[in-house]
Amino acid sequence: MTLALYGHPFSSYTWKALIALYANGTPFAFRVVGEGSPEHDAFVANAGPGGKFPVLRDGDTTVFEATSIIEYLHRNHPGPAPLIPADPDAAIRTRMWDRVFDLHIMDPMQEIVLDHIRNPGNPDPAVRERIEARLDRAYRWIEAWLETYPQAGQISLVECAAAPSLFYADWVHPVPADCPRLQAFRAHLLALPPVARCVEEARPYRHYFPLGAPDRD
């Protein structure tokens, strides 16, 4: 059976899995959720305790959570993109940086988005102030870390996590001018072909962004 990924083209965590699949040219079927295919919605709703996408199906195997999907692809459908380093210590660092982007960039970005969904036209300024402070702290930590991180053309779990989180976080709270390495890293990520493909596939859905999508990227 062909691999099937359940998700949505505008979803940041769906991007994370898509980037890994595109980077290795892995054949798969994309099952879009929330667009008139109730069987797709039902499968995702029952796949994990949160009922969230992305979800990967490989025969009788179901994998939810984007990082776990990438780990599964690395082990069971390897390709030219080294999603997880072979060296154990390097693999630990890669997994650590994956958590940095998910927990300290993606999560706070989504908290602001959810506040705008809950309170359209009247978001809570205290939420924005608190989240912007979190993002600024994370931006500056990553700025320092990037001094030692090689921005190669290859894609690993790090790039899969960093690209969607930085893409959308910069829409919510732009990376400041005093983080030039991080600004350059975001631009580098968006130029990678698998990431650029995700950007283009999501473009028709930009009007759904609760804060209003900027006229760039």
Predicted confidence (pLDDT) per residue in 84-143, tens digit: 999 999 999 999 999 999 999 999 999 999 999 999 989 999 999 999 999 999 999 999
Domain at 3-76, CATH class: alpha beta
For the structural domain made of 88-196, what CATH number should be given?
Answer: 1.20.1050.10
Predicted confidence (pLDDT) per residue in 6-49, tens digit: 999 999 999 999 999 999 999 999 999 999 899 999 999 999 99
**DSSP SS3 for 7:** strand
How far apart are alpha carbons 6 and 209 in whole angstroms? 20
From the list 78, 53, 79, 84, the residue with the least C-alpha distance to 66 is 53
- Going from N- to C-terminal start, the domains of the chain cover 3-76, 88-196
How far apart are alpha carbons 71 and 62 in whole angstroms? 13
Instruction: State pTM to two decimals.
Output: 0.96
